[in-house]
Structure 1
Amino acid sequence: MDSPTPVDGSARPLPMSWVGWGIAGAAFLLALGACDVFNFDVGVHLLKGKWILENGSIPRPEDLTCVKRPGFAYQDRWLFQVGTWLTWSLGGWAGLTLAKVGVIMGTFACLWVAARPAGPLACIAATLAATLLMYERWDIRSELCAHLACAAVLALVGRSPRPDRAAWAAPPVIALAMNMHALSILAPALVSVAAVAGIIHTRKEHLRVWVGVAVLSWVAVLLNPQGWRLVAVPFEYLQRYRTGPDWYQGWITELQGVTDAVAFPSVSLRAPWIVVPFAALALAANARRIRALDAALLVLGALAAFSYRRNVAAAGPLLFPVIARNLHEAVAAWAASRPPESLRMPRL
């Protein structure tokens, strides 16, 4: 399998076409970040964040209750809740909105870097596809922070001229993400991306580095209030209930104390969002070759899309570089097959 395009030290300046499309993309993400700020979950996170700061500990399900979801507690998102409360205390709803916009723009900035050599048109198309996949995760939710962490790892490890050094950033980023939103496929995705990138770039002299990164990444997954249960409980319920939402219901009830039907979504909502992973796979196959990193991200994105509704959002950042790079290659191959005088192609 081919490795990603190597990055040398003589990076050319971005062409002017990036400016216009970059402004368009930024405006789209700004509008996306400024909408849908008020919701029930934000109130829950504010309440938990205030409680943690006042009591100096993470609340148990019986410590705080609410009418909508009795015993509703996010023991795995304490860092996000503290940050949400501090942001709201300093800037109110305007501060929360600005923070949300910043996280979303930071996520896609990392993804655009990870997608190179794809140009602005391909990145804009991939941005739209990724936002469709993350359709229900654009209010103020802890998943946004996990998206940023995943995108940062992709950009650092996938595009660094010294990936053996950049990879050491993966374990602390994973530990941070696990305390922002632990109950997510993004955590194992971060570990897998770091490991796969290591395999791709491995030279014999760097093998110990990647083994160390992989071990520390798995240790980082356990650095959260749930600890080993976050790994053990999902597999236990997956073995016990193999019929869709049952194992998911048991998992969430076990970890978060949610006991009512409100928390358990319909399986039918997953179906429309499985199309994009297969579209990306078709684009990759069109090039008659596929990068190992793209193959790994496609598999992880497909797993995310097939998982329960809350984690469909994980497929967005995972598939972004794949979609952008393969759009770039597919259109470039088509343009190369045409006579130069027959078309005037914009930079993709």
Structure 2
Amino acid sequence: MSIDAATIDQAKASSFGRIPVWSWLGAGVYVLFLINGSGLLNDSDTYWQIAVGQWILDHGALPRVDVYSFSKPGEPWISSSWFAQILYAASYNLAGWTGPVVVAAGSIAATFALLAHILERRIPATYAALVALAAMVLSAPHFLARPHVLAMPVMVAWAYGLMTASERGQAPSFWLLPLIALWANLHGGFVFGLVLAGAFAIDAMWNAAPSQRKPLALRWVAFGLAALAACCVTPYGWESILASRKILDLGELLRLISEWAPADFSKLSAFELTILALIAGTLYRGVKLSPPRIALVLGLLHMALSHGRNLEIFALLLPIVVLTPVSQQLALRSTWSGRTTFVPAVVLAVAFGISTWAIAAHQTYSPPKSDSPAAAVEAIKAHNLRRVLNDRALGGYLIWRQIPVFIDGRAELYGEKFTMAYYNALELKDVSQFLDLLGDHDIDALLLRPGAPAATLLDHVGIWRRVYADDVVVLYARGGG
């Protein structure tokens, strides 16, 4: 064998022998979430997300008014997550509930494989894997087959592109713009991508020489305007930006929606342990950040403390924001060679394919029965009940079964005033308010959770009778003595 041939064979063996940690981690995360796939369906909103995607596929158009409720029929409403909803609906049509599970699990795996790859370029592979796994544990409560999961790898890639440009003293490449355009069609959280661009622009100005700040600022401003324009490359145009803003204008209502509620430290949690560990590590090792990076860290922390929904943003972006200062000040050295081969991608693709065939194709996935009151819906149809005041968490399933709802998870449609009145009425904060709600909306049935205050009252009101009950729901219909 010639020396050249031996060298080539050795190089090939080396390429196959050292598969980067990000590819193994991505494959492992994918397998983990396939095994526990039903957990990704543990949210009733998945029902209406798929239903909206199916409506788009059936009509070849996007919704602009509400067509699912009898309380807000014809009200303006757009779906800023339309592309993600189509992906979920198409995957469901292809493989039943296995489809959305595979799509969501694949996106989660891609997110943490990408994060590990980014970290591995600056710090040792073992540390990169540990940080990525810690971020996964912290984000795990929000891993659901919903649009925000499909936007996570896009967010990570966007943030890394901005950080890299800032540290090089340059404006970001315009090749990044398709990322935020994709984000804008997947999920309404893309507005935060514009905030990130502004934050890293300030970071770039801070690090630049005084003579370079003005031309650099102009290039960042040009990129920012282009990013804003890219966000409007959706079927709804600039309306997508306005729709995303409506969520943050829900005021008091956000505290009642679990995913938007503020952090709760009454019990020890992974989030609290993470914050304490970060404080302890900073005090012990004396890591220093520039003022713009400090502002970014505090901003991410504030978002996570204010709304539980933002916890995965904190977990995914904090390692990127502090990566360079920490790696430099702690003298961490990456073993990454800087060379990119197709071998890791092939390994990951093969692992995905084998896992999908071996696990997903032979396992049954389904949403929890607590969100799927099938027998109660059959009772609604059997009694020809039209205007059903439903528990909010059951709205997704009713939409799925093509039953007009009183309320569902689209908080931006119903608004703060309507939804707070609904909650207060069902909690019997004011009994007359509850009775007025039934009369004002001409309610002829109620689908509630057993033990709800309103259900207890109806058991003692003669004009309402139970027509169905189990351990999940109780259905009342008008027509008693």
TM-score, normalized by length of structure 2?
0.52
Distance 2:150 2:196 in 1: 13
Q: Could you say what secondary structure the match of 2:40 adopts? A: coil
Q: Residues 184 and 240 of structure 2 are in contact (CA less than 8 Å); yes or no, is this contact kept in structure 1?
A: no
Asked which structure has the greater RCO (Cα within 8 Å, sep 6+), the reply is 1
Quote the residue 2:31 is aligned against: 31
Q: Residues 122 and 327 of structure 1 are in contact (CA less than 8 Å); yes or no, is this contact kept in structure 2?
A: no
Q: Residues 164 and 198 of structure 1 are in contact (CA less than 8 Å); yes or no, is this contact kept in structure 2?
A: yes
Instruction: List per-residue Cα deviations over 1:267-325 (Å, max 9, x = no partner).
Output: 45477425535644654563442256743541332122122222222212111325666
Q: Could you say what secondary structure the match of 2:123 adopts? A: coil
- Between stretches 90-99 and 46-55, larger displacement belongs to 90-99
Instruction: List per-residue Cα deviations over 1:231-290 (Å, max 9, x = no partner).
Output: 6546655xxx5xxxx0536xxxxxxxxxxx667765454774255356446545634422
Q: Residues 262 and 306 of structure 2 are in contact (CA less than 8 Å); yes or no, is this contact kept in structure 1?
A: no
Quote the residue 1:256 is aligned against: none
Distance 2:233 2:192 in 1: 15
- Between stretches 24-33 and 145-154, larger displacement belongs to 24-33
Shift of 1:214: 1.7
Superposed, which structure 2 residues align to 1:184-199 within 5 Å?
A: 186-192=192-198, 194-196=200-202, 198-199=204-205
From 109, 113, 119, the equivalent of 2:113 is: 109
Distance 2:92 2:329 in 1: 45
Decide whether aligned partners of structure 1 residues 132 and 74 sit closer, same or farther in structure 2, where only a CA change above 3 A counts. Answer: farther
Q: Residues 172 and 220 of structure 1 are in contact (CA less than 8 Å); yes or no, is this contact kept in structure 2?
A: yes
Give the number of aligned pairs: 302
Instruction: List per-residue Cα deviations over 1:66-114 (Å, max 9, x = no partner).
Output: 9xxxx9x772211110121223334444443333333223222332343
From 181, 185, 191, the equivalent of 2:187 is: 181
Q: Residues 122 and 324 of structure 1 are in contact (CA less than 8 Å); yes or no, is this contact kept in structure 2?
A: no
Quote the residue 1:149 is aligned against: 154
Quote the residue 2:316 is aligned against: 317
Distance 2:16 2:202 in 1: 34
From 81, 84, 91, the equivalent of 1:80 is: 84
Quote the residue 1:342 is aligned against: none
Q: Residues 263 and 308 of structure 2 are in contact (CA less than 8 Å); yes or no, is this contact kept in structure 1?
A: no
Decide whether aligned partners of structure 1 residues 178 and 200 sit closer, same or farther in structure 2, where only a CA change above 3 A counts. Answer: farther
Quote the residue 2:302 is aligned against: 303
Decide whether aligned partners of structure 1 residues 16 and 97 sit closer, same or farther in structure 2, where only a CA change above 3 A counts. Answer: same
Q: Residues 103 and 144 of structure 1 are in contact (CA less than 8 Å); yes or no, is this contact kept in structure 2?
A: yes
Decide whether aligned partners of structure 1 residues 117 and 169 sit closer, same or farther in structure 2, where only a CA change above 3 A counts. Answer: same
Superposed, which structure 2 residues align to 1:320-335 within 5 Å?
A: 320-322=319-321, 328=327, 332=331
Decide whether aligned partners of structure 1 residues 197 and 174 sit closer, same or farther in structure 2, where only a CA change above 3 A counts. Answer: farther
Quote the residue 1:53 is aligned against: 57
Distance 2:89 2:67 in 1: 18
- Between stretches 175-184 and 217-226, larger displacement belongs to 217-226
Instruction: List per-residue Cα deviations over 1:154-211 (Å, max 9, x = no partner).
Output: 3333346977464324443223212211057744554345534643675454433211
Shift of 1:152: 0.7
> Does 2:223 align with 1:213?
yes
- Opposite residue 274 of structure 2, the aligned amino acid is V
Q: Residues 33 and 101 of structure 1 are in contact (CA less than 8 Å); yes or no, is this contact kept in structure 2?
A: yes
Q: Residues 49 and 85 of structure 1 are in contact (CA less than 8 Å); yes or no, is this contact kept in structure 2?
A: yes
Instruction: List per-residue Cα deviations over 1:9-54 (Å, max 9, x = no partner).
Output: xxxxx99997474465234412343232334333222111010122
- Opposite residue 248 of structure 1, the aligned amino acid is L
Two-structure CA RMSD over aligned residues (Å): 4.2
- Opposite residue 131 of structure 2, the aligned amino acid is A
Q: Could you say what secondary structure the match of 2:66 adopts? A: coil
Decide whether aligned partners of structure 1 residues 183 and 152 sit closer, same or farther in structure 2, where only a CA change above 3 A counts. Answer: closer
Decide whether aligned partners of structure 1 residues 212 and 62 sit closer, same or farther in structure 2, where only a CA change above 3 A counts. Answer: same
Structure 1: tracts of 5 or more residues without a match: 1-13, 250-260, 334-344
Distance 1:97 1:264 in 2: 20
Q: Residues 284 and 326 of structure 1 are in contact (CA less than 8 Å); yes or no, is this contact kept in structure 2?
A: no
Quote the residue 2:274 is aligned against: 276
Q: Could you say what secondary structure the match of 1:216 adopts? A: helix
Q: Could you say what secondary structure the match of 2:51 adopts? A: helix
- Between stretches 186-195 and 84-93, larger displacement belongs to 186-195
Distance 1:56 1:157 in 2: 36
- Opposite residue 49 of structure 1, the aligned amino acid is G
TM-score, normalized by length of structure 1?
0.68
Distance 2:78 2:273 in 1: 31
Q: Residues 185 and 311 of structure 1 are in contact (CA less than 8 Å); yes or no, is this contact kept in structure 2?
A: no
Distance 1:158 1:195 in 2: 9
Q: Residues 126 and 320 of structure 1 are in contact (CA less than 8 Å); yes or no, is this contact kept in structure 2?
A: yes
Decide whether aligned partners of structure 1 residues 77 and 103 sit closer, same or farther in structure 2, where only a CA change above 3 A counts. Answer: same
Distance 2:275 2:18 in 1: 26
Superposed, which structure 2 residues align to 1:114-133 within 5 Å?
A: 114-115=118-119, 116-133=121-138
Distance 2:281 2:15 in 1: 25
Distance 2:55 2:275 in 1: 40
* Percent identical residues: 18
Structure 2: tracts of 5 or more residues without a match: 1-13, 337-481
Q: Residues 46 and 84 of structure 1 are in contact (CA less than 8 Å); yes or no, is this contact kept in structure 2?
A: yes
Q: Could you say what secondary structure the match of 1:118 adopts? A: coil
